[in-house]
Structure 1
Amino acid sequence: MEQRQNLPKGILGFPTAPFKNDGGIDEKALEENIKYLIKEDLSAIFIACGSGEFQSLSAKEYQNMVDIAVSVTNKQVPVYTGVGGNIQEALNQTVISEKAGADGYLILPPYLIQGEQEGIYEYYRSIIENTNLNSIIYQRDNAISDLNTVTKLAELPQLIGLKDGHGNMELNIELIQHLGDRFEWMNGMPFAEITMPAYYHMGFETYSSAMSNYIPHISRMYFEALKKNDKETLHNLYQDVLLPINDIRKKKKGYAVSLIKAGMEIMGFNVGQSVRAPVVEVSKEHYKELEGIVKRALDKYPEPSVKK
């Protein structure tokens, strides 16, 4: 029960890794990003994960980002870190997370290898058992656990959630029907708002929202409409905001990350557009397209504080 008290639920915040001109982490911009997500009622902070360019951080930068997230949140919301990749580095990241005071971690896929189910199980088990923190497994890329593997992992008390970024609905139904409320079920598909109706009615009531980094009030409006089955509002938001942004996101690999920074810059955040290879910056053409979408969205769906 102690661990499940800090279970992340609802709309989850995933800050970026803002870089300065010299290539280092912009600590002030990161603090502002986290404070904004908390102010906008995101239910948890997930630091140094996919949107935080986990794959390109040094050990020192990782430690710094985790420390900043724990300090800034100051227990207002749970803090989860990203761990994974190289197994030895992942184990070290869990220790860093525990010492820093994080509530848990999201386990990202292992580096490169396509493992058998036995290997995937051992990868997750070794990380989960390395600390007493909450842990969440991530169904994505080369780390897709089948029903038997997830059921076996469910015996570990530290494991409190499953995030799906794979989109195999048959498997998701099997998992949720067999394991029910054992986990918090999270939609982690790229641009989760697009697929959330399919997930929500299966029992996935939590999701990660990249869009919340720059237009969180629209994320909240969307999720409230989904819960109320407000089909008209959902349709309008899909047509005016979600699908147009998703169309841009699909135009280049890596836009799932860099488009967030572009949106934040459009909204006045001093986050910059700098990303680390192999992620690419948003092109001027696509930036202008996003700028137009965001402007029209704000005109039609103004933030509550600026409504006339």
Structure 2
Amino acid sequence: MTIERKAPTGILGFPTAPLNENGNIDEKALAVNIDFLINEGLTSIFIACGSGEFHAISRAEYQKMVGIAIETTAGRVPVYTGVGGNITDAVELVKLSEDLGADGYLILPPYLINGEQEGLYNYYKTIVQSSELNAILYNRDNAIVNLDTLQRLVDEFPQIVALKDGHGDMELNLQLVNTIGDRLEWLNGMPFAEITMPAYYTSGFNSYSSAMSNYMPHISKLYFDALVEGNQQLVKEIYVNVLLPINQIRKAKKGYAVSLIKAGMEIQGFPVANTVRPPCVPVEQGHYDELKNIISSALAKYPVAKKETSKL
């Protein structure tokens, strides 16, 4: 089997882990979430990652979520899974993802430990060499590879197709992009990536993970298209009218980066309750009402375009 060494580009879809009234994964709601993202033009599905509460799901739930993603996408877009944390578990999840038919995986930071660069190199090496699937590294929290470490990894492992940055060190990012260049795809993975995308785009990051696309994908696309086309007036307008107000709520409580997505989806009528697993907390009513008002205002300013239907 020949594997295409190419990472997803554009706006990347990160579904949630919807829970039912019993606190279990709502399979139908997850399929709706994934299908909506694909139909709205997102270029890939990243299942059981940060937005999918990777930290809080069991192995059985992980397998179920990946299986639903593979079945629902039906080859329309690539599917990447989340792996990481405990290194032994990470290798097992890579093999499980491969067996289930995933196209690749995103490596989340190792559990708790701040390792030296040699330790991070061996962490990634152990995971990546376990499979021929495409791998995406993630600079975040306690896993920040420097230029020498990343260069060493990409020289040795063609499986590595991208680096996602959730750290925000623009000096390091410029070093990486200008030295390694198009050997990798560069993905903006900052929390609420639309907020930082103007800076990242000019630095060579042409793709990003979009949490907001779970409930207002047309605005994410409108914003990104305006950025690519150089329409600075529209970029600024959406930034001020939509992104900043939502981001103010997101920063109000720890864990809202996950739970605010579900709140937005529920407001938009998706079968997703405003429920998350600890240590995240649900969005409190006052913030929920604020988000509802922001979404209502955003939809009035930037309505969803009606899709044309063919006549028989």
TM-score interval, normalised by the smaller of the two chains: over 0.9
1:32, 1:6 → 2: CA distance?
27
Q: Give, in angstroms, the shift of residue 3 of structure 1.
A: 3.6
Whether 2:244 is the aligned partner of 1:237: answer no
Q: Give, in angstroms, the shift of residue 7 of structure 1.
A: 2.1
The ranges of structure 1 where at least 4 consecutive aligned residues each deviate by more than 4 angstroms after the TM superposition are none
2:83–2:93 contact (8 Å) kept in structure 1 = yes
Give the structure 1 partner of residue 217 of structure 2: 216
Could you report, residue by residue, the CA deviation over 1:9-40 in whole angstroms, capped at 9, with x for unpaired residues? 00000000001111110000000000000000
For 2:18, give the aligned amino acid: P
1:66–1:81 contact (8 Å) kept in structure 2 = yes
Give the structure 1 partner of residue 110 of structure 2: 110
Task: Say which SS state the counterpart of residue 245 (structure 1) adopts.
Answer: helix
Could you report, residue by residue, the CA deviation over 1:47-102 in whole angstroms, capped at 9, with x for unpaired residues? 00000000001000000000110110011000000000011111110011000000
Could you report, residue by residue, the CA deviation over 1:158-211 in whole angstroms, capped at 9, with x for unpaired residues? 000000000000000000111000000000000000100111111100000000
Task: Say which SS state the counterpart of residue 185 (structure 1) adopts.
Answer: strand
1:57, 1:92 → 2: CA distance?
15
Give the structure 2 partner of residue 14 of structure 1: 14
Q: Give, in angstroms, the shift of residue 6 of structure 1.
A: 4.9
State the superposition RMSD in angstroms. Answer: 1.3
Give the structure 2 partner of residue 98 of structure 1: 98
1:202, 1:114 → 2: CA distance?
27
Relative to structure 1, the CA distance from residue 132 to residue 5 in structure 2 (aligned partners, 3 Å threshold; closer, same or farther) is closer
1:223, 1:86 → 2: CA distance?
35
Relative to structure 1, the CA distance from residue 39 to residue 306 in structure 2 (aligned partners, 3 Å threshold; closer, same or farther) is closer
Task: Say which SS state the counterpart of residue 162 (structure 2) adopts.
Answer: strand
Give the structure 2 partner of residue 25 of structure 1: 25
Task: Say which SS state the counterpart of residue 304 (structure 1) adopts.
Answer: coil
Q: Give, in angstroms, the shift of residue 229 of structure 1.
A: 1.0
Task: Say which SS state the counterpart of residue 269 (structure 1) adopts.
Answer: coil
Could you report, residue by residue, the CA deviation over 1:230-259 in whole angstroms, capped at 9, with x for unpaired residues? 011011101110000000000000000000
Task: Say which SS state the counterpart of residue 122 (structure 1) adopts.
Answer: helix
2:19–2:275 contact (8 Å) kept in structure 1 = yes
For 1:166, give the aligned amino acid: H
Give the structure 2 partner of residue 82 of structure 1: 82
1:133, 1:254 → 2: CA distance?
31
Alignment of 1:181-196 (within 5 A): 181-196=182-197
Could you report, residue by residue, the CA deviation over 1:97-125 in whole angstroms, capped at 9, with x for unpaired residues? 00000000000000000000000010011
Relative to structure 1, the CA distance from residue 306 to residue 42 in structure 2 (aligned partners, 3 Å threshold; closer, same or farther) is closer
Q: Give, in angstroms, the shift of residue 5 of structure 1.
A: 5.5
1:306, 1:258 → 2: CA distance?
30
Question: How many correspondences in the alignment?
Answer: 307
1:6, 1:264 → 2: CA distance?
31
- Structure 1: gaps (5+ residues): none
Alignment of 1:52-201 (within 5 A): 52-155=52-155, 156-201=157-202
1:194–1:242 contact (8 Å) kept in structure 2 = yes
Q: Give, in angstroms, the shift of residue 306 of structure 1.
A: 7.8
For 1:302, give the aligned amino acid: P
Task: Say which SS state the counterpart of residue 91 (structure 1) adopts.
Answer: helix
1:6–1:78 contact (8 Å) kept in structure 2 = no
Whether 2:227 is the aligned partner of 1:226: answer yes
2:84–2:109 contact (8 Å) kept in structure 1 = yes
Relative to structure 1, the CA distance from residue 224 to residue 167 in structure 2 (aligned partners, 3 Å threshold; closer, same or farther) is same
For 1:218, give the aligned amino acid: I
2:125, 2:5 → 1: CA distance?
22
Task: Say which SS state the counterpart of residue 24 (structure 1) adopts.
Answer: coil
Task: Say which SS state the counterpart of residue 187 (structure 2) adopts.
Answer: strand
Task: Say which SS state the counterpart of residue 126 (structure 1) adopts.
Answer: helix
For 1:142, give the aligned amino acid: N
1:3–1:158 contact (8 Å) kept in structure 2 = no
- Structure 2: gaps (5+ residues): none
Identity %: 60
Q: Give, in angstroms, the shift of residue 4 of structure 1.
A: 3.8
